[in-house]
């Protein structure tokens, strides 16, 4: 899946190799906040690297999709709850959020972002340690096409003019 690169899970003693994805907020998180976040158990970061540099990184945070985010019984059933076997819809479903995702500027449009999404789908379906029905992401407007191309949908229209849009992928579609 990540041919030619090494995949590691960030540890407190990891030496982070140079990285820029062109977005200072995303670059900054890797160098300034990822280890603190690991220590505080608020996110776990994965890094793809070669001998010289960080090729890409992303992180995961526990999340949920909840009825209150739609606030409409019919839409909740149509978009979310109808996919499940249980007759009575739950008021929320467990999810994992991709908190940050960045690909090095020299390696964009080579399918790495897509490979990371495929890896994430497999990671939370195969031998999953906890119940997890959705992947969520607060997608920057400029990255929406990546997620749309990989099967993610908008949860609501309320954030259509926002800096980010909440998008979700239903892991139930992977059997």
Ligand X SMILES: CC(C)(COP(=O)(O)OP(=O)(O)OC[C@H]1O[C@@H](n2cnc3c(N)ncnc32)[C@H](O)[C@@H]1OP(=O)(O)O)[C@@H](O)C(=O)NCCC(=O)NCCS
The whole-angstrom separation of Cα 111 and Cα 64 is 28
Residue 119 binds to ligand X (criterion: CB under 6 A): no
Instruction: Give the C-alpha distances (Å, rounded to integers) separating 117 from 89, 108, 131.
Output: 27, 14, 19
Q: Are 115 and 140 in contact (CB under 8 A)?
A: no
Identify which range of 2-10, 37-45, 121-129, 145-153 contacts ligand X by CB under 6 A.
145-153
The whole-angstrom separation of Cα 19 and Cα 31 is 9
Q: For ligand X, give the closer residue by CB, 59 or 81.
A: 59
Q: For ligand X, give the closer residue by CB, 28 or 73.
A: 28
> Comparing C-alpha atoms, which of 44, 58, 40, 52 is closest to residue 15?
52
Q: For ligand X, give the closer residue by CB, 75 or 107.
A: 107
Q: For ligand X, give the closer residue by CB, 73 or 118.
A: 118
**Nearest distance in Å: CB 86, ligand X:** 31
Residue 102 binds to ligand X (criterion: CB under 6 A): yes
**Nearest distance in Å: CB 151, ligand X:** 12
Instruction: Return the residue of 35, 53, 108, 121 that touches ligand X, per CB under 6 A.
Output: 108
Instruction: Return the residue of 38, 113, 168, 169 that touches ligand X, per CB under 6 A.
Output: 113
Q: Are 118 and 78 in contact (CB under 8 A)?
A: no
Residue 143 binds to ligand X (criterion: CB under 6 A): yes
Q: Please give the biggest Cα pair distance in the chain.
A: 53
Residue 97 in tokens: 């959020």
Q: For ligand X, give the closer residue by CB, 55 or 81.
A: 55
> Comparing C-alpha atoms, which of 76, 103, 108 is closest to residue 92?
76
3-state secondary structure (DSSP) of residue 161: coil
Report the interface residues with ligand X, using CB under 6 A: 21-23, 26, 101-103, 108-114, 137, 139-140, 142-143, 145-146, 149
């Amino acid at each position: 899946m990540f041919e030619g690169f090494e995949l590691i899970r960030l540890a407190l003693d990891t030496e982070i190799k140079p990285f820029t994805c062109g977005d200072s907020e995303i670059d900054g998180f890797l160098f300034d906040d990822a280890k603190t976040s690991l220590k505080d158990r608020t996110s776990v970061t994965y890094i793809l690297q070669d001998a010289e540099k960080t090729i890409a990184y992303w992180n995961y945070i526990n999340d949920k999709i909840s009825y209150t985010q739609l606030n409409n019984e019919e839409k909740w059933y149509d978009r979310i709850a109808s996919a499940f076997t249980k007759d009575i819809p739950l008021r929320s479903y467990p999810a994992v959020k991709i908190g940050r995702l960045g690909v090095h500027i020299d390696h964009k449009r080579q399918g790495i972002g897509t490979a990371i999404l495929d890896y994430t789908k497999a990671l939370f379906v195969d031998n999953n340690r906890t119940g997890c029905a959705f992947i969520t992401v607060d997608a920057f407007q400029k990255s929406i096409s990546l997620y749309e191309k990989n099967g993610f949908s908008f949860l609501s229209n309320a954030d259509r003019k926002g800096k980010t849009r909440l998008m979700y992928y239903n892991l139930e579609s992977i059997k």
